[in-house]
Amino acid sequence: MSSMPTDHVPPGDDPEDGAPILDVRGVSVTYDDVQALDDVSVSLRAGSICGLIGVNGSGKSTLFKALMGLVAPQQGTVELFGRTTAAARRAGLVAYMPQAEEVDWTFPVSVSDVVGMGVYGRLGAARRLRPADRAAVGEALERVGLTDLGRRQIGRLSGGQRKRVFIARSIAQDARLLLLDEPFAGVDQASERTMTALLRDLREEGRSVLVSTHDLAGVPEFCDEAVLLHRRVLAHGHPAAVLTQGNLARAFGAAPSDDDPRPLHPAATGES
């Protein structure tokens, strides 16, 4: 982490010959009467780490859901690797790292069981791991430094180790696009550094990462580009160009919406 990646150029051997990894065009998502995304367009090229920034309720998780095909936009289109989201999913190109509170940590599965779930997409109907798949799981565990803990039940890990299990799962999957929704929430500085180093290694292999984060200070060092979201895309580009005083004031200062009370009346609701 010596210097800022001022001009990170995506690798030229882009397997999708220049087609964007992720192409969101004019997407609007409305839940009942709440508009979560309004005419959002974002595109991302191979081999970059893109930070997704915005206040609580600005639509970050909704954008992830749209990318995974978990919500259907009322308007607009989402393409991944030049295909529909469903086709990209079936090809095993996308990995999602769940937020800690979405995971049942009491579930009787071991660390290597979970990482093994990364390869299910390319297995037969019974999902029996072949020797090559076991090797891929072992390699993934090694890369995240969890080799010795493979047999542990997942709840018996520290917060930082838990996150690395899911990074290992996307490595075993060999996903080309990693979607991480607030991976640094509740993680200490040392663990965050370990994870960002890992993600940057994955980026060097030509994988792409879309990561939502509240750690604004870490963005310029960690991310190649940033998207500032507030129901619409307020800014998209180099982190330094996105994280200007003016933009941040627009995104965090004067929240115009009634369903996003945090910046204006902090004690109004417990929603997050």
Partner 1 sequence: MDVLAFLVEPLQYGFLTRALAVTVAAAVVAAVLSCWLILMGWSLMGDAVSHAVLPGVALAYIIGIPFSIGAFVFGAGAVALIGIVRSTTKLKADTVIGVVFTALFAAGLAIVSATPSQIDLMHILFGNVLGVSSGDVWQVLILGAVTLAILLFKRRDLTLLAFDRTHAHVIGLNTRFLSALLLGLLALTVVVGLQAVGIILVVAMLITPGATAFLLSRSFDRMLVIAVVLTVAASVTGIYASYYLDISTGAAVVLSQAIVFAVVYLVGRPDGVLWQARRRRPGSPVGGRRRSPDAVAAAVAPRRGADDAATSGA
Ligand X SMILES: Nc1ncnc2c1ncn2[C@@H]1O[C@H](COP(=O)(O)OP(=O)(O)OP(=O)(O)O)[C@@H](O)[C@H]1O
Contact footprint for Mg ion (CB under 5 A): 61
Chosen from partner 1, Mg ion, ligand X, none, partner binding at 70 (C-beta under 5 to 8 Å by type): partner 1
Residue 169 CB, shortest distance to partner 1, in Å, is 7
Residue 208 CB, shortest distance to partner 1, in Å, is 15
Residue 268 CB, shortest distance to ligand X, in Å, is 13
d(CA 252, CA 144): 34
Decide whether 64 or 166 has the Cβ nearer to ligand X: 64
Question: What is the contact surface with partner 1 in residues (CB under 8 A)?
Answer: 68-70, 86, 89-92, 94-96, 98, 102-110, 113-114, 117-118, 120-121, 125-128, 152-153, 155-161, 169, 173, 186-188, 190-191
Query: DSSP string spanning 229-248?
Result: EESEEEEEESHHHHS-HHHH
Chosen from Mg ion, partner 1, ligand X, none, partner binding at 145 (C-beta under 5 to 8 Å by type): none
Chosen from Mg ion, partner 1, ligand X, none, partner binding at 95 (C-beta under 5 to 8 Å by type): partner 1
Does residue 164 interact with ligand X by CB under 6 A?
Answer: no
- CB contact burial 258-272 (16+ within 10 A = b; e otherwise): eebbbeeeeeeeeee
Residue 182 CB, shortest distance to Mg ion, in Å, is 6
Does residue 272 interact with ligand X by CB under 6 A?
Answer: yes
Chosen from ligand X, Mg ion, partner 1, none, partner binding at 5 (C-beta under 5 to 8 Å by type): none
| Tokens encoding 163 | 């996150």
CA distances from 243 to 46, 139, 217 (A): 22, 37, 10
Selected from 62, 85, 208, 247, the binder of ligand X by CB under 6 A is 62
Chosen from partner 1, Mg ion, ligand X, none, partner binding at 58 (C-beta under 5 to 8 Å by type): ligand X
- CB contact burial 10-41 (16+ within 10 A = b; e otherwise): beeeeeeeebbbbbbeebbbeeeeebbbbebe
d(CA 122, CA 89): 11
d(CA 201, CA 152): 26
Residue 272 CB, shortest distance to Mg ion, in Å, is 8
d(CA 33, CA 16): 38
Residue 27's nearest CA partner among 16, 49, 43 is: 43
d(CA 195, CA 184): 9
What is the contact mask toward ligand X in residues 26 to 55, using x (rule: CB under 6 A)?
A: -----xx-x-x-----------------x-
Q: Maximum CA pair distance of the chain?
A: 56
Where do contacts with ligand X occur on this chain (CB under 6 A)?
Answer: 31-32, 34, 36, 54, 56-62, 259-260, 272
